[in-house]
Each structure stands twice: as C-alpha cells, then as structure tokens.
Structure 1
Amino acid sequence: MIKFITFFIFAAFSVFTHSHELSNGYLTLKNDSNNTLSGELLLKPEDIGQAAGLDSNNDGNLTWGEVNRNHTMANDYIQNHLVIRDSETRCTVSIAPPSMRDISAESLLVYPLSVNCVYVNEVSIQYTGIVSDFPTHKLLTTVTLNDHTSVYVLSDERSFITASATGNSWISQFGEMVYQGIWHIFIGLDHILFLVATLLTVNLYRENKSWVKEQSKRHIIKSTVILVSTFTLAHSITLTATALDFITLDSRIVELGIAISAAITALNNVYPIIMRLGFITFGFGLLHGMGFASVFGDLNAQSGSLVMNVFAFNIGVELGQLAIVTLLLPLLILLRNVRLYSKAIMPIASSVIAVVAINWTLQRW
C-alpha cells in the first residue's frame, strides 16, 4: 500500500513537472489579394527555442535577447519546416521579427508572415516543425480564402493539408472542431485537475466529521453523473455565450479563476467546508467554460459557421471529459475498498492538486 501511495504521489508530481511539455501552436493565414496571404505563426518560446537552437548558452532559459539575436536561425528553421504551395508552386514566405502575445495566460512568440504565391485559389500547407523535439506538438491552423474559413489541426500524424477558396465541407469542419475540443481537454491540465479533485470524494461520505466509505456503487455512479452533468451544463453555457460574444471577460482573470477553482476544490476535500458540491461545481464550471472558449479567439474561428463550430467544439470537450471520467470512475470504485483511501490516498492526492493549483495561481496572478 505504501508503494501504491508513493507511486500515486510520484505520478501526480510528474503531471506538474511535465505540465509544460504539452506543445501547441497557432497558424493563421488570410488572403489579402489574388496572390498574397498574411498571417501569424505563434509558438511557445521553449518549443522554438529548443527546436531551432535559439538558446545560445544552453542554460535552459531562453531570453528576449537570444530571440532577437538568433532571429535568422528561427527564420531558417521555420522556412525549412513550414512549406506553403499554390498548386505545385512553392510560395515565398517572409518572416518578420517576433513579438510576444499572451493567449490563455500563456506567453507565445508571434512571427508575422507574408506569403506570396503565383495565384491564391487553393493552398497546401506542410508543417513538420517542433515534432522531433515535442512529438505531441499540434499546430491549430486557420486559413481564410475569399472569406471562406477552414480550420485544421496539423501534427506528427497529419503534417499536410489543402485549403481551397470554397472552404471545408461542413462534415470536415465539424470533425476538426470536435477533435479540437477533445485535444483542448487533454492539454488543459487545470481543467483535468479540477475534474479529478471534484470526483475524488464521490466514493465517500461525511460522518462524524470524517470521510467514510460509500458502500453503494449505484450511489457513487449517481453522484458522479450529477456532478459531471452540473459541470457540463455550466461550462456549456459560458463556452457558448463567450464564443458568440454575448459575454466577455479578460482571459487572464478567467485563467486565474480556473487555477483558484482547482485549489479550492482540492482543499475542500481535505478541510470540508462546502458540502453541497453541486453548487460549487456549477459556479466553477461557468469559469471553465470561458476558458474553453478562448480557443475561438486563438484560432480566429469566427466564420459564417460559428454556431456549428461552437457546437462541435463543445461535443469534443464533452467526449474528452467523458473519457477521463470513464477511466477514473472504476478506479475510484475500487479504491474505496482500500483502508487507507479516505485517511491517506485521497487527502494526499487532493493536497498535491492543491499545491499544483496554488502554484498556477501565483504564476497567473
């Protein structure tokens, strides 16, 4: 049992230690005239820094000075790993010096792009950047040709796409947005830790100021369904409202609130104050929905099919969330029979989540 607890703690801290190894970037392209495209390539400093060798002194800390001094190296790397063609002719890509931009409480390097082609009617994009250093790297790509917007996800498994002036078919577009919803759940460690913290006590109940094993599997499943449904309803409301611009809130405040929500929920497991978890889950779910909605701003996905994009993305989020719950719930049902679960495993796991969430809170303050 001690080995199990040790493994659990190690795994939890590994999530924290490697939380920034999940790699994603953004590419936007829009045609200005018959033969030019303008756009931006947004990458994490640590990703492009390691891949292109921008960290001159190899101290693991990429500085702004190194970014500026080594722009030629970054330019060469991007030119070699981002190939844009019009039919069979390779377009000329000009890359301006980068700036910094905060997206979802994360600082990214923004490389302005100017793309000259023979004729922009259909363009193909091949992207092989970053994946050799970060195999899970995803490039969320938006291409707008003649006011028709298409959204794609480029990765190690899919490095080539073709976009046309007629846009994606609605089926293809729908599938891309579902995929993005799933992906954004899996890279959103703050969302995952909040969900885990919420469910850690579904297999227990309070009696005489102590956590006691819940005997009924049916009650555990019912409690899980209620909490997950409450969270789903809440974040679906604000995800939709935020993506459709019915409500707006500074993304840094949202990301700070999400970190705080994970910390409070985890601490509430150790020092229970709020017993009606449905209310707190709904309230925090509203914040998480606004966090999910930030992807639409990141991808510039506000096209004529915005409502469909929101719906598809929401489905993806729910599928990703369902996958996590499906894996976690059987484990929690089994763990309730372990004598040390209520006394040690659950409090330790909650404490680890609280420490991670508090650290995020301080970073985002």
Structure 2
Amino acid sequence: MMARWLILAALLLAGALPAYAHKASDSYLALDVKEQRIEGQWDIALRDLEMAVGIDANGDAALTWDEVRARHAAIAAYALSRLKLSSGGEPCRLRVSEQLVDKHTDGTYSVLRLQGECGAPVTALEVDYSLLFDIDPQHKGLLRLTHGPATSAAIFAPDARRQTLTVAEPARWRQFADYVRHGVWHIWIGFDHILFLLSLLLPAVLVRRDGQWQGRDTLKASAIDVLKIVTAFTLAHSLTLSLAVLGALSLPSRLVESAIAASVILAALNNLWPLYHRWRALVAFGFGLIHGFGFASVLADLGLPQGALVLSLVGFNVGVELGQLAIVALFLPLAFALRRGLFYRRMVMTGGSVCIALVALVWLAERALDLQLML
C-alpha cells in the first residue's frame, strides 16, 4: 500500500514540476560599442520565437526558411520591443539591419544583426531586457559587451532585467564578483544539478545497518559525509569546466544533458536499492565530471574576458560552490532533525527518491530523443 501511494505521489509531482528537460531557454546578445555607435548580434531560439510570435504557418511543427522569412518583421518588432538601450539617460536608437539563421548545439536560432546610435559617446550603457519573461520565467539573456579590448558580461533574468554596464575595462575584483554571482545564480536554477545533489544528500543523515536505513547518531558524522560528497563533486566539475572552457575538451550538448539526467536517475535509484552507499563521494566525482561540461556551456556563452580568464573561472566556481553550500545549509539541519522518524525514511528518502528518478527519467527521454513530454 505504501509503495502505491509513493508511486502516485511521484507521478503527481512529476506532472506538477516544470520539466526544463532541454537546455534552458537562453538568448545570446553581443554588443560592440564604438564611440556613440553600437553594433551587435542577437541570437534567439526559433522554438522560443514560435511561442512568442508564431512562425509555423502550416502547423506541421517543422519550421522552414520561408516561414521564418515571412515573419521577419514580426520577429524584429518583438525583439526590439523587449530590448531598450540608453546612455546618460537618453535612449539609443536601435534597429535590425539583417536577419539570418544559425545552428547552436541545442537547435536553430534566428540571428538578428543590430545597429544602434546614441546621442554621445557611450561611457556606460543602460540595458533594459525583457525578452520572453512573460512566457518563460526561467529564460535568461546572456550579454557580452565589448569596447576595444575591454569585455564584460551580464545575465538578465526576471529579477535582473535592468543593468548598467561600463564600457571601460572593469576592475578585476568586479569581474570576479560578477562571475561569482553568475555561478550562484546558475546552480540555483539548474534543477538537474540540484536534484543530483539532493539525491546524494538524502542518505547523508542515515546509515545502512542490517539491510535497513537508520538515523546517524551525530550531526558531525552527517556533516563529514556531506563534505566528502560536495568536495568530490566540486573537484570533478571544476576540472572539466576548466578544460572545456579552455577548449581542451568538448562534448555534444545533447550527450552532456542526457548524461546529466542519467546521473540523477542512478543517484536516486541508489537510495532505493543501495549499491554504492559507501562510495557516494566517488560516484559524485565521476558524475561531477559530466556536470562540469554542463556548467561550461554557460561560461562559453557568456564569453570569458581573455585578460582575466583564470580569475573569471575561479569566480564562477566559487559561485557554484556558494550556491551548493546554501542548499546544504538549508537541507542538512532539517534532515538531521527528522532522520529517526518514519516520515523521513519513507516519505522524504524513499518517496523523494522515487519522484526524482521519475522526473529525471522524463528528462532523459526528452533530451536523448529530442521529445517534449512535459510542458
């Protein structure tokens, strides 16, 4: 009876949770400031533009160049209505000079070539970004701003849609702080990374004795177990993140995202049928190598400043770890307080692991087979 209720709860949760199975909805905006002139390029996924303005004229779910070209005016109008640039409090005139299409690792994108003119040479550019936020609150805009040799980056989200960027070479500490913030933000919206981490953390307050889960005696023992897992995961993803961003290693996006989903499934199933309970730190290291490639795609899209490459990499890694530690700080004390009760062992540990495995199974199917099973 308990198993039936757990399966029912898991199915309900799987239907209620947002899937985010494909790579998160992103757009890539590159702006180059030359005195008062601005030139740029904005890559927006066609699947996102289909939701926003409608491109598929015949409804066959297969977008053609003719269908995209027929909606060029609507695409340009929509994009420009969601991006406002200004300098010194005065708006900059912005127009779309050309539209193309390009393949990214996660699909086809519309490429909008931009030209803008401000009233005076730009020293600080104020950006108001609101693309897709009313349709997809998880959407983010990745901006790379260049001015001669100086490069800076920003991430736009519903709670950070207005930002001001200086066109001068940013201070090193400011770059470091920006990438720390990017790292924290990325781990907090990375639901697959969070579920993988939680799958490994759920049994941290328990110990396996005589084929049964029992509560650990001390918080110190649980904290040491968590420290081993988080440290192993950190070392692994930092390694592949650095190698991928530096161009030494590269894997297809679909393979990486599918492998991440598979890692979540295996970590959750291990809580139901323990095979490597004592080796979870080693497993965290192994799968952390794969998760590092997922983190790398974000940094590659941001465009790391070559003059501060190492500093930016370190800042992003620090941000990811701070984000993870915040999750651990919330989870561990509460889990330890509940560890001896049936509620934790059956509903949280068993039921939670079933839910995680089911959601990740849908992710795996969607990512590997390029399907959309959950909205």
Q: Provide TM-score, normalisation by structure 2.
A: 0.82
Aligned residue type for 1:282: F
Amino acid at match of 1:130: L
1:195 positional shift: 0.3
Alignment partner, residue 54 of structure 1: 54
Residue 371 of structure 2 corresponds to which residue in structure 1?
Answer: none
Separation in 2, partners of 1:312, 1:8: 37
Residue 142 of structure 2 corresponds to: 140
What's the counterpart of residue 205 of structure 2?
Answer: 203
2:73 is aligned to 72
Secondary structure of 2:131's aligned partner? coil
The answer to whether the Cα contact below 8 Å between 2:55 and 2:63 also exists between their aligned partners in 1 is no
Asked if structure 2 preserves the Cα contact closer than 8 Å seen for 1:263 and 1:354, the reply is yes
Alpha-carbon offset, residue 166 of structure 1: 1.9
Secondary structure in 2 matching 1:305: helix
Contact 2:13 2:355 survives alignment (8 Å):
no
Q: CA offset at residue 341 of structure 1?
A: 3.3
CA separation in 1, counterparts of 2:265 and 2:320? 22
What SS class does the counterpart of residue 113 from structure 1 fall into? strand
Which digits, 9 at most, give the CA deviation of each residue in 1:179-228, with x for residues without a partner?
Answer: 11111112211111100111111122222223233233221122112211
Q: Secondary structure at the match of 2:203?
A: coil
CA shift in 2, pair 1:200/1:100, >3 Å: farther
Say if 2:33 and 2:167, in contact at 8 Å, map to a contact too.
no
| Structure 1 residue 150, shift from structure 2 partner | 0.8
Alignment of 1:85-234 (within 5 A): 85=86, 88=90, 90-94=92-96, 96-97=98-99, 99=101, 101-103=103-105, 106-107=106-107, 109-117=109-117, 121-122=122-123, 123-135=125-137, 137-234=139-236
The amino acid across from 2:117 in the alignment is: C
**Structure 1 regions of 5+ residues with no counterpart?**
none
Q: Which amino acid aligns with 1:193?
A: L
Kindly state the Cα deviation for residue 131 of structure 1 after the two structures are TM-superposed: 2.7
SS, match of residue 85 in structure 2: strand
Residue 30 of structure 2 aligns with an amino acid whose one-letter code is T
Q: Residue 84 of structure 1 aligns with which residue?
A: 85
Equivalent position to 2:365, from 346, 353, 362: 362
Instruction: Say which is worse superposed, 296-305 or 260-269, in terms of deviation.
Output: 296-305
User: Relative to structure 1, is the Cα distance of residues 270 and 95 closer, same or farther in structure 2, using a 3 angstrom cutoff?
Assistant: farther
Residues 1:94 and 1:327: Cα distance change in structure 2 (over 3 Å): same
Q: For 1:297 and 1:69, how far apart are their aligned partners in 2?
A: 32
Question: Residue 307 of structure 1 corresponds to which residue in structure 2?
Answer: 310
Alignment partner of 2:145: what SS? strand
Name the aligned partner's letter for residue 234 of structure 1: A
Distance (Å, rounded) in 2 between the aligned partners of 1:126 and 1:280 = 43
Any stretches of 5+ residues in structure 2 without a counterpart?
369-375
> How far apart are residue 309 of structure 1 and its match?
1.0
Distance 1:323 1:28, change over 3 A: same
Instruction: Encode CA deviations 1:254-276: one digit per residue, 9 max, x unaligned.
Output: 22221111111111111122231
Structure 2 vs 1, CA of residues 208 and 134 (structure 1 numbering), >3 Å: closer, same or farther? same
Take 1:289 and 1:296, find their aligned partners in 2: how far apart are those partners? 11
The number of equivalent residue pairs is: 358
Q: Matched residue of 2:306: which SS?
A: coil
Residue of structure 2 equivalent to 1:283: 286
Contact 2:254 2:367 in 1 (8 A): yes
Query: Given that residues 14 and 359 in structure 2 are in contact (C-alpha distance below 8 angstroms), is that contact kept between their aligned partners in structure 1?
Result: no
2:154 corresponds to which letter in structure 1?
Y
Deviation at 1:63, TM superposition (A): 5.4
Q: Which residue of 2 aligns with 1:251?
A: 253
Alpha-carbon distance, 1:146 to partner: 0.8
Deviation at 1:344, TM superposition (A): 4.9
Q: Percent identity?
A: 31
CA contact (8 A) 1:145 1:164 kept: no
Q: Which of the residues 321, 326, 331 maps onto 1:323?
A: 326
Structure 1 length-normalised TM:
0.84
